[in-house]
Each structure stands twice: as C-alpha cells, then as structure tokens.
Amino acid sequence: MKALLLCGPGERFQLEEIPDPVAGPGEAVVKVITCGSGLTIQHVKAGRTKVDYPRVIGHEITGEVEEVGDDVTSLKVGDPVTCYFYLTCGTCKWCRRNRETLCEKFTGYVGRGVNGGYAEYIKLPASTFLKLPSSLDYKNHPAEVGVISDAIATPVKVIRRARVLPTDTVAVFGAGGGLGIHMIMLARWAHARVIAIESKPEKFDACKEAGADEVIDGTRNDLPEALIELSSGGIDVGIDFVSSEQTLEHAAAALGKGGRLVTLGGSGKPFKADPRAMLEKELEFIGSRYATKQEVTESLELVARGDVWPLVTDIRPMEGAEALHEELEKGSIIGRAAIRITA
C-alpha cells in the first residue's frame, strides 16, 4: 500500500510502498478514504510530540472495513467507519464509566503508538473503529465526516463538561483554530452567546461565520476587562484552546459568578488564579481531554441530522501532504484540512 511515512522528527513525508496490514485476532483493517489534518498531528510531524519512527500519522479517518480478524463480530467487510483516537482497554473502571480518556491501561494514540490514517489501509483493534450512521453521506463528504471524530467530538464534550446553558455567555480562546471554529459552532448549537478570541485578524470573519456574536483581538492587554464589559459582569464559560499562562489567567479573571474555565492542553505551565474569587463566585476549573466513544458516536449523529457541519477548507492528495502541513505549521488553515487517500 501507499503510505506517507515519517522517518524522523521534523522530516519531510516520504510517499512509499509498504506491506498491506493484515488483521489479526480482535483487529480490523480499513481502507482509508480521507484523513483529517490538524495541529495535533502536525505536532508529531514537527517533532514536538515524540513517537517511534518510521510512523504513519493521522486519526480523523473516513473509511470502509476491508478485513476483520476471525473473532471479530462488531464489524463486517464494507462497513463505513471512523476511528477513536485513543487506544483504550474497554474494561477498566474509567472505560466502564464512559470516561475512556482516563483509561488505566491506555496504550497510546492512533497515529503515534501505532500507524494511523495517512496510508491506504489502517489496522487497529476492531473496537477502535466506530460505525458511521447510515444517514451520514460519507461518500460525497468523506473529509468532513472524517474530522467529526475529533474536531466535532472534542467540543461536544466541552459543552457537556462545562454544562453550557442557553443563557450563558461563552468565550472561546484560540477561536480561529481547527478546534476553536468547531467550538464556536457547538456553543451556538447549545444556544449560548459566543465571544471568539483570536489573535489572527484574517480569521475574524471565519469566527463570525461559524456563529460568534463578537470577535475580540486576542492580543489586547485589557482582555479580561473587555470580556467583563461585553458580558455585563463576567463570562459564564471560558474555553481555552491556547491554554498558555496568559490566556488561562485572562480567562480566569474574566469569569463571572458561577463561571467555568475549561482547559484543553497548552503549555503545561502553572497559572495564577484568585482563590477568593474562586470562593466568592463559586468558580470551577475543568480539564477536558478529547471525547468518549459515546461522544464521538453522538457527534456523528449530530452531523448526520444536520445540526452542525464540519468546516473543511483544504483537501489535498497524498502528494500534497508536505505543502499542507507547511500551512498547518503557519496556522493559516481556516477550520480543518484533510488528505484524500483513496477517494
């Protein structure tokens, strides 16, 4: 099969022929139609996330089951599927509680610990593949369908974790990024008022089109004050995709009574928050990682019934992957991008 191989940190993709994967017990092989291209996998390509080489990256796939292991009953050849990003055990306390992102026997990520979707075929444990609803038009929109498993599911989980209500004002930090744009869409879907915070002016329009009521320049020093003024006393929910020391402090300072702050990653550096404000306003600080399998399935259903539609603005063939990832590194992609593998 053809595969885009990464042979070292920061190296160019090598489009090579490698042996087709073969499904062993409990596994399935899927023919990949498209695979989404987001910053998470660009971090691997650039060497900021460590993996063993050679490696095939990518996890936001649309594909069809090509082969299943002898004992696999959950899938059959021809089933249209996407995949779950985390490799989880399915049996530990956290998996049983529908919180797989906390799995005690977590064995890594698709496209990092094992080969991912930037190849004609992908082999994974059968339970990692999730069937597409029959009403989802994956044949005409494979790139959009493929990115649902992360770009829509991650915001869906945030809406749930932060208990976003229609009366809430939600501020999204890093709103113009691939996840941020979809977070705006989902916050609107939840009928909240949405303030987008973005530092690249060329992305302001995309934030508005995704549903933001207001867009604020993220480079402003008076960001907390501006947010407090816009929300008449403080935001209800701050969702921080940047999660630098500064954005977290700005988000925390802008929270109103009962406010919730959600972090989704970032620098890992500590930030300062005022414990008196936490007490007096009964603030909540929440971490939210990816999504559960249930949330991915629900996200597929939300798109299938037309509630939200993923924004994929750049789709290229495998030969164009290197140039596409240069755009990802620059941060110039609006929404998501994808690689057409066999479509």
- Binding residues (CB under 5 A) for Zn ion: these are 88-89, 92, 95, 103
Would you give the end-to-end CA distance of the chain in angstroms? Answer: 15
DSSP symbol at 6? B
Q: Can you read off the two tokens belonging to residue 252?
A: 């925390």
Report the relative pairing of strands 80-83 and 129-131 from DSSP bridges: antiparallel
Cβ of residue 99: shortest distance to Zn ion, in angstroms?
Answer: 9
Rounded distance, CA 42 to CA 322, Å?
A: 11
Q: Can you read off the two tokens belonging to residue 12?
A: 């160019």
Cβ of residue 251: shortest distance to Zn ion, in angstroms?
Answer: 31
Residue number, 89 or 230, with CB nearest to Zn ion: 89
Residue number, 237 or 291, with CB nearest to Zn ion: 291
Residue number, 18 or 89, with CB nearest to Zn ion: 89
Cβ of residue 105: shortest distance to Zn ion, in angstroms?
Answer: 5
Residue number, 81 or 103, with CB nearest to Zn ion: 103
Phi, psi dihedrals of residue 99, rounded to the nearest 5°: -130, 60
Question: In sequence order, what DSSP letters do the residues of 70-137 get, joined into one string?
Answer: TT--S--TT-EEEE-SB---SSSHHHHTT-GGG-TT---BBTTTB--SSBSEEEEEGGGEEEPPTTS-
Residue number, 88 or 299, with CB nearest to Zn ion: 88
Cβ of residue 113: shortest distance to Zn ion, in angstroms?
Answer: 15
Rounded distance, CA 180 to CA 172, Å?
A: 7
Residue number, 92 or 273, with CB nearest to Zn ion: 92
Q: Can you read off the two tokens belonging to residue 238?
A: 């701050």
Q: For residue 78, what are the CA distances in angstroms to 28, 32, 75, 293?
A: 11, 12, 9, 21
Residue number, 84 or 241, with CB nearest to Zn ion: 84
Among 220, 114, 117, which residue's Cα sits nearest to residue 173? 220
Among 230, 291, 275, 310, which residue's Cα sits nearest to residue 83? 291
Q: Helix (H, G, I), strand (E, B), or coil: what is residue 287?
A: strand
Residue number, 103 or 283, with CB nearest to Zn ion: 103
Rounded distance, CA 300 to CA 294, Å?
A: 10
Q: Can you read off the two tokens belonging to residue 49?
A: 């996330």
Cβ of residue 230: shortest distance to Zn ion, in angstroms?
Answer: 42
Rounded distance, CA 299 to CA 341, Å?
A: 23
Cβ of residue 114: shortest distance to Zn ion, in angstroms?
Answer: 17
Residue number, 105 or 191, with CB nearest to Zn ion: 105
Cβ of residue 85: shortest distance to Zn ion, in angstroms?
Answer: 14
Cβ of residue 71: shortest distance to Zn ion, in angstroms?
Answer: 20
Amino acid at 149: S
Cβ of residue 15: shortest distance to Zn ion, in angstroms?
Answer: 35
